[in-house]
Amino acid sequence: MSKTTPATLALTKSGIAFTVATYDYDSGAERVGLQAAEAMGVAPGIVLKTLMVEVDGKPACVVVPSDQEVNMKKVAAAFGGKAAQMMKPVDAERLTGYKVGGISPFGQRKQVPTAVEEMATLEDEIYLNGGQRGLQIRMRPDDLIAALGARAADLIR
């Protein structure tokens, strides 16, 4: 498995400190983030999932703990919109350049507005997808926010 992806290249270029971790991706896992946490032996609350959404028809990205469910009304509010829905997987893959199960908020083909669950910003370190299935980026949540110009918001149920 290559540890160089558009996500890791974008972080390196920006000078943000990070390390990578790998795990055996299970394509049959019901919840990929929970499977990643278990495989790496870390708490599921610090493994974040990257979800591509549409807010009032415009693409956006949300990053939330893998053991939580996103609240679409809160997502819409975080972006100043009225309604939000999950983006279709094929559209998410086309927009980001990544396969579902490996979507990273970094190095996407087209950078879109991003919101991060505010509870995740209280952690010392977090893991998030590194741009391919089985590759995680470990970093500080403050660096995640800074690198993406993201906003912290209440996004979960």
Q: Taking Cα atoms as reference points, which of 113, 108, 125, 124 lies closest to residue 153?
A: 113
In a domain, 10, yes or no: yes
The helix (H) or strand (E) run that includes residue 129 is strand 126-129
Q: Is residue 1 part of a domain?
A: no
Q: Is there a domain that residue 53 lies in?
A: yes
Binning pLDDT at 50, 70 and 90, where does residue 1 land?
A: low
Q: Does the residue 145 lie in any domain?
A: yes
The reply to whether 55 falls in a domain is yes
CATH of the domain at 105: 3.90.960.10
Mean pLDDT of the chain: 94
What value does the mean pLDDT take over residues 8-16? 94
Q: Can you give the residue range of the structural domain that contains 89? A: 6-153
First to last CA, the chain: 35
Q: Residue 145: CB partners within 8 Å, gap ≥ 6?
A: 116, 121, 151, 152
Mean pLDDT of all residues in 85-93? 97
Cα 144 to Cα 123: distance, rounded to the nearest angstrom? 12
For residues 129 and 20, the answer to whether their CB atoms sit within 8 Å is no
Q: Please indicate, yes or no, if residue 64 is contained in any of the structural domains.
A: yes
The domain tally of the chain equals 1
pLDDT band at 137 (very low <50, low <70, confident <90, very high): very high
Specify which residues 48 forms β-bridges with. Answer: 65, 128
* pLDDT band, residue 91 (cuts 50/70/90): very high
**What is residue 156's DSSP assignment?**
B
